[in-house]
Structure 1
Amino acid sequence: MGKVTFLNPEFFWLFLLIPIAIAWLFYKRNQLSASVKMPSVSVFKQNQTFLAKAKPFLYVLRLLALSLIIIALARPRSVDVTSKSKTTKGIDIVMAIDVSSSMLATDFKPNRLEALKRVASTFVQERVNDRIGLVVYASESYTLTPITSDKAIILQSLKKIEYNDAIIADGTAIGVGLATAINRIKDSKAKSRIIILLTDGVNNSGTIDPRMASDIAKQYGLKVYTIGIGTNGKAMFPVAKDANGKLVFKMMPVEIDEKLMQEIAKTTDGKYYRATSTEKLKEIYDDINKLETTEIDEKKFYNYDEKYRSFLLMAFLLLGVEVLLRNSFFRGIV
């Protein structure tokens, strides 16, 4: 049963009449019953029957009935609310993620790539009504997951992202990564289409100029949010592998082509962000989440279950019991 509400709560003011009614009954108690004048009633007082003592109870029944009628007038009813939501303006999103070896730098814990995967997973889970796709790139790029509304697939794909030079050659081809993301989303029929392009370095490979790719994105009406990830100053980067194939790290300067990323964002009416820590990265994705909202048309259906009938029924039942008792058991009782 839903929550009980009252359609006409102003009728509860009538409860103020109850004390007045009690006072009136007390004041008129001797006039409401038949009386017999006798020189002395001491004998009757000493031998007063149970029915005579119980007769005032009839007025209690009447007052209870009055209270139930007041409650009925207030129209108690339970309300069950059901909602039906319909997405009226969906958003398609492609996340283009840099998976070059520099993403293993340890200025984020445990490294940049793992920190990004955790933050991006939270972002995906919050985009309940949108479709998302994944593109990864280093010196080349490929689509990891086509645009889909199945968040479980996206989350599983995010978990599997890792640096692997056996699959994709090392390097940073920002233009190629952006072009692949554009190709993946350009034919989408969504009302809003965005690309989140993340890198931690400088464009140093690939056959597509990033600025040309951003011009193409603009022609398709795509908005690109760019993120530069990496602390200020220096960080421990993987620079080689030892004889056992284990990565060797060395302290090196952090270099991000922020000017290029700003140009890409400006050309496509997007926004550039710099993430210098995991906390800052979370704030960036939260900001994008707020900027790109999906419009929802929600309809609520109310089902009312009127309860006043039962109160009226109990009130009339009490009045009936009072009339029956007054004209049977208590008839002639003074």
Structure 2
Amino acid sequence: MLDETIYKWYSPEWFTPSAFKSFDWANAFVLYLIPLVLLLFALKWLVGTKLKQKLPVALPKQEIEKHWTSYLRFIPNLLIALSLIFILVSLARPQRTNEEVEQWSEGIDIALVIDISESMQIEDFKPNRLESAKRTARDFIAGRQQDRIGLVIFSGDAYSLSPLTTDYELLYKFIDEEIDFNKIENRGTAIGSAIAVGTNRMRESEAASKVMILLSDGDNTAGNIDPITAAELAAAYDIKIYTIGIGKEGKVPFGKDFFGRPNYVENTLDETTLREIAKIGNGQFYRVSDNEALRNVFDLIDEYEKAEIKETRYKNTTDFYPIYLKWALVFFILFLFSKSTFISNILED
């Protein structure tokens, strides 16, 4: 594509095939009239040949010689034809349009609240509950765009691992390197405290939508705030809460004995409390028992909580018909000049 800031109107580059291919034509149908101009001049020549007055002159054959100057008589017709052709090109309005699209969204603030208590080492998920949750959270973050995401981890206490941020690489680093069972010393499951820490992170948010995703596999056994009270506090700040109960009911594998055989422990989950938290937070409760079910739940939440992407389009259209109109004028002036010279009066053999 030609750069109009570099090439002047008299540059031969405007007549190259690449130049014509780069144009959008506002009135492209006018271009179909160009062959008609050529046809009219061909008809004019044929009719003129038949009707033109001829002066018979008798000369010996050996003295008849066609001189090159006889071809100059075609110059006026050629000039006026070119002038008409470039007028048609101008009427077709060659132009170029640069379109810019600006996208933005009002955005969603999301807090991922992840249980790292000892029971998250249970191996009914592969390789265990926590590693499966970390992998799924990573995939969930990768599917977001422009949303701020924060991380909260909890066991006996709750701890804000990352503030709300759009630096997803930083979040991946926290998930891969910082989330493990030894991050918090106090044992237990402080669900209420975790919700309170997540709420504290989001209470000053001005996002159009605020979402908390709480993932836990046990009962509330620690912390200094009741989960229901914490959920009501979150709801007061318009935070929607999704709760995910992770793990199977009954006996589940947890570690191995001296002979390498899996140990089994009884697993319990306070499903009632998690359901009530989701109800208060105008969200939903999900129970998952394997890796695939956990991924499906996060995919579902990902679809529910999509920000509306808005866009504004800017069009900048530049017309190039003046270039070809100038050429039409040049050829017309040359035509007038040629009509005033001997060229128009050359005898045809």
What is the TM-score with the length of structure 2 in the denominator? 0.75
- Aligned partner of 2:160 in structure 1 is 143
- Residues 114, 164 of structure 1: CA spacing in aligned structure 2 closer, same or farther, 3 A cutoff? closer
Distance 1:59 1:159, change over 3 A: farther
Task: Give me the whole-angstrom Cα distance separating, in 1, the residues matched to 2:47 and 2:281.
Answer: 88
- Give the residue type in structure 1 aligned to 2:346: G
- In structure 2, the residue matched to 1:11 is 30
Deviation string, structure 1 residues 59-79 (Cα, Å, up to 9, x no partner): 455444433322221222222
Of 93, 107, 128, which aligns to 1:75?
Answer: 93
Superposed counterparts of 1:133-172, under 5 Å? 133-165=150-182, 167-172=184-189
Query: What's 2:278 paired with?
Result: 265
User: Counterpart in 2 of 1:293?
Assistant: 306
Q: Does 1:130 align with 2:147?
A: yes
Aligned to 1:28: 47
Unmatched tracts of structure 1, length 5 or more: none
Letter in 1 for 2:36: L
Higher deviation after alignment, 173-182 or 131-140: 173-182
Q: Which moved more, 1:284-293 or 1:127-136?
A: 284-293
Contact 1:100 / 1:163 at 8 angstroms: preserved in 2?
no
RMSD over aligned Cα atoms: 3.8
Deviations along 1:255-285, one digit per CA (max 9) or x if unpaired, are: 5444433322222111223445544444433
2:107 and 2:211 map into 1 onto residues whose CA distance is 11
Tell me the matched-pair count: 327
Q: Spell out, residue by residue over 1:240-267, the C-alpha distance to the aligned partner (whole angstroms, 9 max, x if none).
A: 9x8xxxx995355665444433322222
| Identity in percent | 31
Q: Structure 1's 330 and 298: CA in aligned 2 closer, same or farther, altered over 3 A?
A: same
Equivalent residue number for residue 210 of structure 1: 227
Tell me by how many angstroms 1:321 deviates. Answer: 4.5
Q: Is the 8 A contact 1:51 1:333 kept in 2?
A: no
Q: Are 1:308 and 2:326 matched, yes or no?
A: no
2:154–2:184 contact (8 Å) kept in structure 1:
no
Report if the CA contact (8 A) 2:153-2:179 is conserved.
no
Aligned amino acid, residue 184 of structure 2:
I
Amino acid at match of 1:265: A
Q: CA deviation at 1:229?
A: 3.4
- TM-score between both structures, scaled by the size of structure 1: 0.78
What's the offset of the Cα at 1:332? 1.1
**Which of the numbers 254, 260, 272 marks the counterpart of 1:237?**
254
Give the aligned residue type for 1:289. Answer: D
